[in-house]
Structure 1
Amino acid sequence: MCPVCKQKIIKLTGWHNHHMVWRSLGGSESQENRILLHPNCHDQVHNQQLTIEKPRPPKGV
């Protein structure tokens, strides 16, 4: 699920790999620093300087 629009990310919609802390500012390539977003949502995050929080996995997973 895309944390911006709350819609499923599928092959048809496409996705971008977003670094929550930019690598140029010391962010890592680790999974904890990356999240998948739709291409439109990724543009919105950068254009509107939105902050993204990584959702917590469901309990029991």
Structure 2
Amino acid sequence: MEKAKASVTAVDKLLKVLNPKARGIVEERYIEKETVEEIAEKFDLSVSTVNRTIKNTFETLDRISQYIV
């Protein structure tokens, strides 16, 4: 149970460093379980922009995670 809480805390820390658009897209996709198409419509973006934002966000999180967590 403590490990799960630590993981949630780590994810929260990482999400806080993202810009609002990237954070919103990631939260909608992985927390709210929205489809990429639904997110694109909600944010008035193309599907490719949503996919690219998700990809770039995870690359950024991977690079910075060693400093944040």
Length-normalised TM-score, structure 2: 0.26
More helix by share: 2
Q: Identify the structure with the greater strand proportion.
A: 1
Higher radius of gyration, 1 or 2: 2
Please report the TM-score for the alignment, with normalisation by the length of structure 1. Answer: 0.27
